Structure 1
Amino acid sequence: MRARNGILQSIFLAAVCALLLAGVLVPSVPSAAGGTSGDTAAPGRGSAAAAAGGINVRVMTFNIRHGTDEDDDLDLESVADDIETAEAQIVGLQEVDRHRSARSDFVDQAKWLAERLDMHYAFGLNRKTPPKEGRRKPGLHGLVVLSKFPIVSARNHMLTNLKYAHRPTKQRSMLEVVIDIKGTRISFYNTHLDNQRKEQRLSQLSEILAMARPSPRPSILVRDFNAQPHSRVMRTARTLFRDVMADLGQGDEETFPYEEPDRRIDYILTRGPVSARWAEVIDTGSSDHMPVLAGLTIAKAQDTGPARTEGGPGPAQPSEGPPRVSARTSVWF
């Protein structure tokens, strides 16, 4: 990962050191729940989580463009390195291949990343292609959630794909998982909205909000929305969720495209007793998008309802089989 403005960083670090020497600042100490015990919650909605002594967690969203870097070279290790260096504990990935084609070397990227990072994972299918010549497994493309904490349940919801005679849109979905963070369960949603038409994005978003609204748990929604902060799509999203970076006064930080970023289309949103301590856009050339990382505090609370593994409004993708569970990773189709 690289910093875009090394000079400003140097000035900032020098100022911090001076304040530490003067006794004005007290260094933070890593906490067992993740993050640092010296972090404070941002003011405003959701700050009750920190006041109640909540759980600190580092959350990331990252469109990895099937593991191709700024030079269009396949480099999945760089993606893993970005996640590892950021010390992200829960990650929503978009544009992930599994045995897809030569473009990703037929690698099961979901499994590879989970094993490389020693994380649990769930996969949500967007599209499926027949096996390539000489291959036995079909090509899959979709969403992944990686988690250092156990994934209790997962379900992939296929979103309605409006039909167009000209420039037809691609199938999209939302991956919904329930994660147990040291006894506190949260709902975590990962999605990637249409990149061609606002009408399609609004339709997809309305289904997502309908599915997320019934959850009694603290909720986090991450995604590539293909929509900018002042768009109708984002105004609609904010009727149920809070925009972490906007709440922190960082709503103008661009995330795409990497070479000359001119728009923010990648977001971390929260709902319920979840507060944002800090957030940053990570400057990396491992994709055409830059990942967003946030330090969140989630109020400690008992789960107020059973994990939703089926049902709920909107069309959902049937499972292709029972969950396959290993010692460290879990995956659902």
Structure 2
Amino acid sequence: MRARTLVLPSMATAALSVLLLVAGLLFPSMPATGGLPRDTDPPSRHSSTQGGSGGTGATAGTKVRVMTFNIRHGTDEEDDLDLESVADDIESAKAQIVGLQEVDRHRSARSDFVDQAKWLAKRLDMHFAFGLNRKTPPQKGHRQPGLHGVAVLSKFPILTARNHMLTNLKYKHRPTKQRSVLETVIDIKGAKISFYSTHLDNQRKEQRLSQMKEILAITAQSGRPSILVGDLNAQPSSRVVGLAKTQFRDIMADLGEGEELTFPYDDPDRRIDYILTRGPIVARWATVIDTGSSDHMPVVAGLTVAKPASKQDAPPMRVEGRSGTVPDSPGPPRIVSRMPVLF
């Protein structure tokens, strides 16, 4: 496997990060940009480890490891179904909150009719929420419809989850596929964050721009520290990413290494998978994991979420168990619990 480089901040960026984190603590509505040193332990067995100077800002909040991963319905570099390798990558990276894309649930023979969201949550002992993109009728010999979409896995309680269907523009030729953004509220040791996972269209810039505008309208409704992750199918210089940066920060760019590539796995030539943050969140490190468990390589980052100065929102909601589902169309937020899928 190719060695990947751990992204570390420059001295100037690190100094600026501390100042902006202080500003974020005093004025939570003001964005703080990332750049504090990585954790003492390496983020993954695939990543190189480089030293970094200490920083004072990282102790001001709660540390969390976040990942985004397009898993291509669990098929590896040989196009063989290998969901265990996906779980191994997440586990090895010690990721605590993961945004997944291209997740199947009872979809078809290509994923052996496995409920991949539930399987991964159980295998990794994590809570989960699933956001539907598309549904197909049950195949012969199977009772459940085939589902495909995005998901969120979390070591921390998922308090609420809501799936937002994005407008699908109509085209006569090469019609685009339905997409969504899954919105969750996660309680990280008392600090509540809004966490979003999405997968934008892969065919047309016009469609991606429309989807990003809708996503920003949705994310603007949250006053919490926010993290948006996903496969945007757009490179850093694109209008789509530029639009996203009107509300969010691209942590890889903030850390001074925006050229880390994520796709395709065998000979990556573009960066289309992102971890974006808003509010009092500092990025300490970020890296791309070299793996052949999908056609995308996952991105993982060490973040620090500022401790809330006062009580946030409502008291935590009780979560019954470690697995859950989300409606396939917009509706009031629902607690994530051990419930059957209802469509």
Do both share a fold (TM > 0.5)?
A: yes
Alignment of 1:167-316 (within 5 A): 167-301=174-308, 302=310, 304-306=312-314
Aligned residue for 1:317? 329
Report how many residues are paired: 291
From 124, 132, 143, the equivalent of 1:136 is 143
Aligned residue for 2:16? none
Aligned residue for 2:103? 96
From 78, 96, 115, the equivalent of 1:108 is 115
Aligned residue for 2:153? 146
Say if 2:163 is the partner of 1:156: yes
In 1, Cα distance between equivalents of 2:76 and 2:136: 24
Q: 1:226-271: per-residue Cα shift (whole Å, max 9, x none)?
A: 0000001011110000001000011011100001000000000000
Structure 1 unmatched ranges of 5 or more: 10-26, 31-37, 42-46, 310-315
Structure 2 unmatched ranges of 5 or more: 7-38, 43-51, 318-327
TM-score under structure 2 length normalisation: 0.79
Q: For residue 216 of structure 1, report the CA deviation from its aligned partner.
A: 1.0
Change (3 A) 1:78 1:112: same
In 2, Cα distance between equivalents of 1:322 and 1:121: 13
Aligned residue for 1:5? 3
In 2, Cα distance between equivalents of 1:319 and 1:98: 21
Aligned residue for 2:77? 70
Q: 1:99-155: per-residue Cα shift (whole Å, max 9, x none)?
A: 000000000000000000000000000000000001000000001100000000000
Q: Percent identity?
A: 71
Q: Assess if the C-alpha contact under 8 Å between 1:54 and 1:299 holds in 2.
A: yes
In 2, Cα distance between equivalents of 1:51 and 1:332: 42
Q: 1:80-116: per-residue Cα shift (whole Å, max 9, x none)?
A: 0000000000000000000000000000000000000
In 2, Cα distance between equivalents of 1:94 and 1:174: 10
Change (3 A) 1:259 1:332: farther
In 1, Cα distance between equivalents of 2:337 and 2:53: 35
Q: Assess if the C-alpha contact under 8 Å between 2:3 and 2:290 holds in 1.
A: no
Q: Assess if the C-alpha contact under 8 Å between 1:258 and 1:287 holds in 2.
A: yes
Aligned residue for 1:87? 94
Q: Assess if the C-alpha contact under 8 Å between 1:217 and 1:303 holds in 2.
A: no
Q: Assess if the C-alpha contact under 8 Å between 1:216 and 1:305 holds in 2.
A: no
Q: In structure 2, what residue type is equivalent to 1:317?
A: S
Aligned residue for 1:121? 128
